[in-house]
Amino acid sequence: MDEALSQRLLSLLERIEPWLPPAPVPVDWHRDVAALWQRHALGGQLVPVPPRDSLRLDDLLGIERQKLALVDNLRAFLHGYPANHALLWGSRGSGKSSLVRALLNDLADEGMRLVQVDRHDLVGLTALIERLRYEPHRFVVYCDDLSFEGHDDAYKALKSVLDGALTGPPDNVLLLATSNRRHLLPESMQDNQGTRLVGDELHHGDAVEEKISLADRFGLSLGFYPFNQDTYLEACCHWIARLGNADDWSPQARAEAIRFATLRGSRSGRVAWQFACQWVGQRQLNG
């Protein structure tokens, strides 16, 4: 390559360089507590992310039983004792994803590290787990809002990692998923046509057994349900005090909170948070 051509190439690279994306920052598990797994980047890479917010377990009301069960399970895992993979399922806005964020904020100092995996990247789950196997930390591999369609075979990768592969996940990896579906897969009337009664026992058909088998591989399954009105109002009061001032909770605020939930057609922790943001924001704007 002659000198003139080399100079032209160097000049071209100098023009392109400002437009190139910055090199990814390698994850440092002594510093970072959470990361995203990107399967398509350079054969798979972990991208560190800071905690999203300062949400704590005490901020989550109406799910005390679920909090206690999951915290006990995770603390056993973090101390090297036997623990179960966990599935959090139930109605929208009921605190499933918020509970995971609060757990990270509360348990990071006890050694919890979180890796979030998108559903579409589950086919690379085995590669991720092998990467984590030899790390001197304990990892919760987390998939949010997990569900599969009837024609979707991606769930087989998760199913294999949970319990089907010869090696299985290492002792320092625990899987955690949230879903609106109890069994993660859609269930149709046609699936039940293979169900039959044998004596006094109900035997499901192959289609139902196949769909139930994935959720069954999570040893800890916790259901989340819509709030009743008292719990919803308690959550509204909590978030108004947290975002603004406890004195902002008044009979007028209570009436507006009920109206807000009625218009949304839902009572949940998410709706309580949304109402508190609206109520406190408007009061602060108006002085």
pLDDT in tens, the chain (287 residues): 567 777 776 676 566 555 455 556 788 999 999 999 987 766 678 999 988 888 999 999 999 999 999 999 999 999 999 999 999 999 888 899 999 999 999 999 999 999 999 888 888 888 888 899 999 999 999 998 887 765 565 666 777 777 655 567 889 999 999 988 877 766 554 554 555 555 556 445 444 455 567 778 889 999 999 999 999 999 999 999 999 988 889 999 999 999 999 999 999 999 999 999 999 999 988 87
Nearest to 191 by CA among 212, 217, 160: 212
Nearest to 250 by CA among 230, 265, 231, 233: 233
| CA pseudo-torsion sign 271, 275, 281, 284 | negative
| 3-class secondary structure, 142 | strand
The distance in angstroms from the start CA to the end CA of the chain is 71
Q: Position of tokens 């699936």? A: 191
**For the purposes of burial, counting CB atoms within 10 Å of the CB of 204, is it exposed (0-12), middle (13-18) or buried (19 or more)?**
middle
The three-state (H, E, C) secondary structure of 47-108, written as one string: EECCCCCCCCHHHCCCCHHHHHHHHHHHHHHHCCCCCCCEEEEECCCCCHHHHHHHHHHHHH
To 10 degrees, what angle do helices 251-264 and 229-243 make? Answer: 120
Contact 194, 204 (CB under 8 A): yes
The gap from C-alpha 170 to its chain's centroid, in whole angstroms, comes to 20
As a residue count, the chain comes to: 287
pTM, two decimals, is: 0.81
Q: How far apart are CA 72 and CA 49, in angstroms?
A: 26
All structural domains of the chain with their residue ranges: 34-224, 229-285
Greatest C-alpha distance within the chain:
89
pLDDT at 206: 46
Q: Residues with Cβ < 8 Å from 64, sequence gap 6 or more?
A: none
Q: Position of tokens 């949940």? A: 268
Q: Position of tokens 């075979």? A: 153
Look up residue 123 and give its amino acid. Answer: V
pLDDT at 203: 45
pLDDT at 278: 95
Q: How far apart are CA 100 and CA 174, in angstroms?
A: 13
pLDDT at 111: 94
Contact 248, 267 (CB under 8 A): no
Domain 34-224: give its CATH superfamily: P-loop containing nucleotide triphosphate hydrolases (3.40.50.300)
